[in-house]
Amino acid sequence: MFVTKAALARRTFLRGMGTALALPFLDAMAPALSAKTTKAPPRLGFVYTPNGFIQDQWIPTTAGAGFELTPTLKDLAPVRDNLTVITRLAHLQANTFGDGVGDHPRASAVWLSGVHAWDRTQPGMEIKLGTTADQLAARVIGRDSQVPSMEIVLEKPTQIACDTSDCFFVNTISWRNPTTPNPAEAHPRIVFERLFGDGGTAAQRMARMQQTGSILDSVLQEVSRLQGTLGPGDRTKLTEYLDSVREIEQRIQSTEKKGASEPLELPDRPVDVPETFEEHAKLMFDLMALAYRADITRVFTMIMARELSSRTYPNIGVPEQHHAVSHHRNDPALIAKKAKIDAYHISLFNYFLEQLQNTPDGDGTLLDHSLILYGGGIGNGNLHEHTNLPLLMAGKLGGQVQPGRHIVYPENTPMSNLLLTILDKAGVPTEKLGDSTGPIQPDYLTV
């Protein structure tokens, strides 16, 4: 790598053995760019949560800027001014048309596509859905980034034989085109190496577990050379960024060493993930924040848990399975437990949002230049209703969204209209998405 004291190119990399480590935005990059190109790029994220929610614990009682955070949303207080809560949207294409696929698979399938999912596994039929909003965005705002989009999940792939199309519809919310689902990755090492370097073979990965070296170690000489060309502020930014990379890498190595201690042959695709759901979630959120910071990717999807999830949450007092609890049959004890799960997922989401809010980016923060949509395809989980969906947005998308409000739309407004509007504000104008009838009206998002 050749660096002059005049300026750094925006896409400067530190290169090592099998590694190309992108840099965060530094002041030294600004002189090399015009006023137009120094504007921070938009970032979009889509975080899915399953099995519906307890509506009276989620939905604020008042609309507008003065709304109070509900019990489910209370942990978002540190980022409240960057939130937009949206209610009464629906995905009616997730309703049953008597064609085979269950409510839960239809819910995750429709969330970013607006397309009804039905069982196409009969002889001569093919699995088919529609290009999802994240992929439409990746084609435009992601085309200049190293990784156009990332698809991640916080549960391991199902071990049940996939003999129906349901499997395709619960294991991802991202579709590259109507016939190609994007597999969601659960293993942090795979995500890390896709962002920062080549994963290599199973033998190479095992050898890496048994040594203290790291991806960062291979670029130390380049780091030293680069720091000599930077001012004090940029040196501090670079040090903080590399410390973040190192800390995440060490957490991944620690997790993999635990798995490597078992007398099992390491497969070509590692299967070890952090022991607890919270550790797993925070590590994946850390990776996405780091990827945003280095502008490696600008679009991601994350599945907090799959529809029909059997995960238990004994750490918050819910030893029962998530899906079973969601069918509470109006039992107050089960309602309270489902509300705990909803609030717990929100608390982990807040962990991510606070990172974005506290990370400088160009003329603002990462959250200023991002829009993260959080929600799911089922409103009332007890009744499998796909109306009044749980939805909130975080961020300003570079000034395209005015947050800090609860917006109530007319009942059963298509959620696909919101997706169209988000894409348009991100610079990805789209004529139609699934069952959309046009941009959301009225457009309260910027009023």
Q: Answer yes or no: pTM beyond 0.85.
A: no
Q: Among 8-22, 61-75, 128-142, 313-327, where is mean pLDDT lowest?
A: 8-22
Model confidence over 210-246: pLDDT tens digits? 554 566 676 677 777 787 788 887 888 777 777 777 7
Taking a C-beta distance cutoff of 8 angstroms, is the pair 379, 386 a contact? Answer: yes
The confidence score (pLDDT) of residue 179 equals: 87
Ranges of CATH 3.40.720 domains, the chain:
43-184+298-447
Q: DSSP characters for 169-235? A: HHS-S-EEETTEEPPPB--HHHHHHHHHB----HHHHHHHHTSS--TGGGGHHHHHHHHTTS-HHHH
The confidence score (pLDDT) of residue 254 equals: 61
124 falls in which pLDDT band (50, 70, 90)?
A: low
The confidence score (pLDDT) of residue 163 equals: 47
Q: Is the peptide bond before 123 cis (omega within 30 degrees of 0)?
A: no
Neighbours of 276 (CB within 10 A): 10
How many angstroms separate the Cα of 429 from the Cα of each of 329, 353, 372? 43, 26, 18
Work out the burial of residue 426: count CB atoms within 10 Å of its CB; fewer than 13 is exposed, 13-18 middle, 19 or more buried: buried
Q: What is the Cα–Cα distance from 90 to 358, expressed in whole angstroms?
A: 33
What stretch of H or E contains 302? strand 299-303
Model confidence over 77-106: pLDDT tens digits? 999 999 999 999 999 999 998 876 789 999
Q: Give the range with max mean pLDDT: 187-191, 234-238, 360-364, 433-437.
A: 433-437
For 9-24, what is the mean pLDDT?
57
The confidence score (pLDDT) of residue 388 equals: 97
- CATH 3.40.50, domain 43-184+298-447, yes or no: no
